[in-house]
């Protein structure tokens, strides 16, 4: 790979399908929220929000499958090791299916512990429990999709990722509308729609990765379970798992603290979280581009290409962040009105909307550094940086929430992202130097 090969066009070719793909995911969350919001009650909105974030938190513990797979495959691809790209995929699928089965088996104590840590009202807990008991059947498929997506991103097959996400979210949205508004299934209908979408999505994902299964390399079990390669994947996975657990714990803490402020604030924060999700998933598209380009450059031992991939990906992330700020400023109140018909929830959400307007620029550096470090598999640095950031976040929560209430909660989340970026920036010079070795 030469530096000239990493152009604006290449970055956009990798990133734009991911931006569109990732943007559809929070749109799905907005539809989930909007469908139950038509019931005119804050309780179903809060139940779907809590149920979804608990399951997302559990599943994203295994998010290392997407991130670790992406970084390792990108480097193997940059080094020209086709057999290893296939072996990494098989390792990821084995881990994903196994993890899903374990989570399903342990659902009762995990759900109980979630509500013991931060209980909501009885009405919300009952509906959230029903939602999670249905969706948990999709755990193996949902977690395995991380490995599938990570492999496709590393291979720069992002149009396939877009097709996969459009299928999952399209099926989910169509069934949401049918089950909830047509069949009056309520919260259970939202959960059933997601379950069906996850399993059909896994089937499509395996089809999109079918080139892996050409020939016998994919079932070269000596390579798949090679001690050195497996140990490296375990090390990368362990670091990312700790990092992901800390990140999810931070977001779950945010939600649970908001739940103690009452059903209306809980529902308002759930609606505003859709803005956060839209921002994160849209800008993550450029972080994913950084993963593929930085990983391949590191595999090829090309420091100049690594720097150029990081720079161009971040440039287009900044452009997109500014666009999102403008959209939220101009259309934020209308989006809130669409997502709920409850007057008190609408008013509460709008009072905090300005946090959403500034969030894209505040969050961008941390997401871009995440992509760069994942591509380089500098996961130990990510783990240490996240631990430091989480400590700061907890201290800020104790300082701001008692005096500023929900504004303090949102301010703490913004500061958390700023600290995440600063702690990773400190390690960046060592990352670049690795390409020279």
Residue 92: the pLDDT is 92
Taking the C-alpha atoms of residue 30 and residue 33, their distance in angstroms, rounded to an integer, is 5
Q: Tens digits of per-residue pLDDT, 402-417? A: 999 899 999 999 999 9
Taking the C-alpha atoms of residue 189 and residue 130, their distance in angstroms, rounded to an integer, is 10
**For residue 431, pLDDT beyond 70:** yes
Q: For the chain, what percent of residues have pLDDT higher than 90?
A: 46
Residue 338: the pLDDT is 85
Lowest mean pLDDT among 190-194, 377-381, 409-413: 190-194
CB 46 within 8 A of CB 263: yes
In which band, very low, low, confident or very high, does the pLDDT at 1 lie, cut at 50, 70 and 90?
A: very low
Residue 426: the pLDDT is 93
Say which DSSP state 68 is in. H
Once rounded to an integer, what is the mean pLDDT over residues 366-393? Answer: 94
Q: Tens digits of per-residue pLDDT, 117-133? A: 666 677 777 788 888 88
User: How many Cα atoms are found within 13 Å in the side-chain-facing hemisphere of 182?
Assistant: 9
Taking the C-alpha atoms of residue 322 and residue 2, their distance in angstroms, rounded to an integer, is 30
Name the token pair of 301.
Answer: 């031992």
CB 86 within 8 A of CB 215: no
In which band, very low, low, confident or very high, does the pLDDT at 47 lie, cut at 50, 70 and 90?
A: confident
User: How many Cα atoms are found within 13 Å in the side-chain-facing hemisphere of 222?
Assistant: 1
Once rounded to an integer, what is the mean pLDDT over residues 131-148? Answer: 92
Once rounded to an integer, what is the mean pLDDT over residues 271-300? Answer: 87
Lowest mean pLDDT among 8-12, 101-105, 260-264: 260-264
The closest alpha carbon to 306, from 390, 241, 373, belongs to: 373
Say which DSSP state 214 is in. S
Residue 68: the pLDDT is 87
Taking the C-alpha atoms of residue 169 and residue 286, their distance in angstroms, rounded to an integer, is 21
The closest alpha carbon to 318, from 345, 285, 342, belongs to: 285
Count Cβ atoms below 10 Å from residue 418 Cβ, excluding itself.
15
Q: Please report the DSSP string for 364-410 in residue order.
A: HHHHHHHHHHHHTT-HHHHHHHHHHHHHHHHHHHHHHHHHHTHHHHH
> Which carries the bigger pLDDT value, residue 356 or residue 3?
356
Task: State the pTM of this model.
Answer: 0.80
Taking the C-alpha atoms of residue 288 and residue 309, their distance in angstroms, rounded to an integer, is 11
Taking the C-alpha atoms of residue 365 and residue 348, their distance in angstroms, rounded to an integer, is 29
Taking the C-alpha atoms of residue 261 and residue 283, their distance in angstroms, rounded to an integer, is 30
Helix (H) or strand (E) holding 4: none
Q: Tens digits of per-residue pLDDT, 13-23? A: 998 998 787 66
Count Cβ atoms below 10 Å from residue 264 Cβ, excluding itself.
17
Q: Tens digits of per-residue pLDDT, 214-232? A: 888 778 888 888 889 889 8
Torsion angle defined by CA atoms of residues 68, 77, 294 and 223, in that order, rounded to the nearest 10 degrees: 30
Say which DSSP state 180 is in. I
Taking the C-alpha atoms of residue 431 and residue 43, their distance in angstroms, rounded to an integer, is 47
Lowest mean pLDDT among 83-97, 129-143, 175-189, 303-317: 175-189
User: How many Cα atoms are found within 13 Å in the side-chain-facing hemisphere of 209?
Assistant: 30
CB 57 within 8 A of CB 256: no
**For residue 38, pLDDT beyond 70:** no
Say which DSSP state 212 is in. G
In which band, very low, low, confident or very high, does the pLDDT at 335 lie, cut at 50, 70 and 90?
A: confident
Name the token pair of 139.
Answer: 């755990």
Once rounded to an integer, what is the mean pLDDT over residues 201-213? Answer: 93
Q: For the chain, what percent of residues have pLDDT higher than 70?
A: 94
Taking the C-alpha atoms of residue 274 and residue 343, their distance in angstroms, rounded to an integer, is 18
Q: Is the dihedral of CA 321, 20, 169, 162 positive or negative?
A: negative
> DSSP alpha helices (H): ranges in 106-157?
107-117, 122-135, 139-154
Residue 27: the pLDDT is 66
Residue 209: the pLDDT is 93
| Cβ contacts of 109 within 8 Å, gap of 6 or more | none
Residue 3: the pLDDT is 47
The closest alpha carbon to 390, from 238, 235, 245, 240, belongs to: 245
Write down the mean pLDDT value for the chain: 87
The closest alpha carbon to 142, from 97, 87, 173, belongs to: 97
Taking the C-alpha atoms of residue 421 and residue 426, their distance in angstroms, rounded to an integer, is 9
Once rounded to an integer, what is the mean pLDDT over residues 71-88? Answer: 90
Residue 151: the pLDDT is 94
**For residue 197, pLDDT beyond 50:** yes
Residue 265: the pLDDT is 86
């Amino acid at each position: 790979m030469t530096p000239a090969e990493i152009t604006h066009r290449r970055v956009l070719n990798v990133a734009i399908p991911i931006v569109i793909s990732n943007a559809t995911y929070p749109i799905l969350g907005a539809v989930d929220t909007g469908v139950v919001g038509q019931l005119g009650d804050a309780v179903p909105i809060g139940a779907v929000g809590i149920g979804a974030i608990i399951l997302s938190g559990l599943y994203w513990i295994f998010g290392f499958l997407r991130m670790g797979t992406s970084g390792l495959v990108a480097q193997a691809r940059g080094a020209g090791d086709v057999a290893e790209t296939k072996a990494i995929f098989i390792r990821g699928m084995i881990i994903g299916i196994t993890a899903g089965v374990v989570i399903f088996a342990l659902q009762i104590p995990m759900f109980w512990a979630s509500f013991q840590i931060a209980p909501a009202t009885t009405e919300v807990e009952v509906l959230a429990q029903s939602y999670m008991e249905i969706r948990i059947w999709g755990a193996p498929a949902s977690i395995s999709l991380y490995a599938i997506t990570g492999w496709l991103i590393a291979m720069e097959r992002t149009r396939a990722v877009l097709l996969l996400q459009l299928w999952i979210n399209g099926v989910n949205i169509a069934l949401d509308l049918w089950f909830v508004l047509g069949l009056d299934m309520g919260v259970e209908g939202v959960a059933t729609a997601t379950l069906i979408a996850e399993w059909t999505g896994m089937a499509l994902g395996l089809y999109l990765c079918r080139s892996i299964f050409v020939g016998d390399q994919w079932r070269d079990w000596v390579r798949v379970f090679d001690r050195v390669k497996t140990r490296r994947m375990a090390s990368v996975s362990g670091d990312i798992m700790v990092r992901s657990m800390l990140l999810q714990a931070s977001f779950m803490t945010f939600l649970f603290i908001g739940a103690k402020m009452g059903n209306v604030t809980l529902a308002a924060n759930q609606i505003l979280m859709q803005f956060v999700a839209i921002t994160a998933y849209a800008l993550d598209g450029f972080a994913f581009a950084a993963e593929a380009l930085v990983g391949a450059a590191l595999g090829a031992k090309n420091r100049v290409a690594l720097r150029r991939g990081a720079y161009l990906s971040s440039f287009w992330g900044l452009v997109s962040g500014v666009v999102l700020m403008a959209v939220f400023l101009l259309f934020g109140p209308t989006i809130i009105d669409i997502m709920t018909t409850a007057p008190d929830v609408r008013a509460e959400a709008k009072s905090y909307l300005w946090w959403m307007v500034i969030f894209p620029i505040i969050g961008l550096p941390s997401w871009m550094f995440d992509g760069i470090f994942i591509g380089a598999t500098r996961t130990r640095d990510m783990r240490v940086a996240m631990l430091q950031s989480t400590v700061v976040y907890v201290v800020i929560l104790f300082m701001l929430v008692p005096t500023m209430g929900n504004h303090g909660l949102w301010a703490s989340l913004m500061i958390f992202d700023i600290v995440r970026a600063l702690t990773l920036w400190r390690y960046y010079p060592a990352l670049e130097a690795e390409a020279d070795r």
